[in-house]
Amino acid sequence: MAHPLTGRFLTLLPRVLDSIDRIGPELLRALLKLGDQIIKIRDEEAGFFLMNNQQRLGPILIRILEHTDVDSIRDAIEAAVDDPQLGVGAAAYVVAYIGADHGLVWQRSNEARSEPILSRSEVERIGSKLARKIEELGRSNTLSITSTIDIVLRVWTTFGAADEARAWIDENLCDPATFAKNSVFPNG
């Protein structure tokens, strides 16, 4: 699935958001709700400096988090984690980004923030809920192998049962036949 305007829109959106003083929680909710679908959309053209939609969401997320109050951020993330209809990729991306303020999921290198968005205990609580959701998907064989699987697995191993995550990885990613069967990457 490709749409020629999606990448361009996502590239320009941070400039639009920079001109806004306060962003309501609706945009974060939309990002969490549609994020998995947006990430799956491929660019129509592949150039030398290929950038995917997951990378484009980073600057958008930064602007949203900078211009939205903390309570709304926490509530939107928790609602996405609690919603059984939503995928786990976008929520894992947001939890990983916020967790990096505390050295959780991954280390923030060049974008250190003086004040974390959420407290460490809030990130751990939300991350643990998300890890349980991911673990349930893994146990029921419904955890899709998508372009966000690396972040999903990092959240699972950070906040959940790392041994169960490793077992899922061994079973689903290390066996080429199983990987091909469970993969939802387009064209292979």
Q: Which two tokens stand for residue 156?
A: 């699972």
pLDDT reported for residue 163 = 92
Residues 6 or more apart whose CB falls under 8 angstroms from that of 150 comprise none
Phi first, then psi: give them for residue 42, nearest 5 degrees.
Answer: -95, 155
CA 75 and chain centroid, separation: 16
pLDDT reported for residue 183 = 62
The residue length of the chain stands at 188
pLDDT reported for residue 59 = 87
**Of the candidates 153, 172, 175, 151, the residue with the CA atom closest to the CA atom of residue 162:** 153
Instruction: Report domain extents, the chain.
Output: 6-182
Residue carrying the six token digits 């320009």: 12
pLDDT reported for residue 188 = 42
pLDDT reported for residue 2 = 53
pLDDT reported for residue 9 = 86
Q: What is the pLDDT of residues 131-145, one digit of tens each?
A: 999 999 999 989 988
pLDDT reported for residue 33 = 93
Which residues in the chain land under pLDDT 70?
1-4, 43-49, 109-113, 175-188
**SS3 labels along the chain:** CECCCHHHHHHHHHHHHHCCCCCCHHHHHHHHHHHHHHHHCECCCCCCCCCCHHHHHHHHHHHHHHCCCHHHHHHHHHHHHHCCCCCCHHHHHHHHHHHHHHCCCCCCCCCCCCCCCCCHHHHHHHHHHHHHHHHHHHHCCCCCECCCHHHHHHHHHHHCCHHHHHHHHHHHCCCHHHHHHHECCCCC
Q: What is the C-alpha to C-alpha distance for residues 1 and 164, in angstroms, rounded to an integer?
A: 33
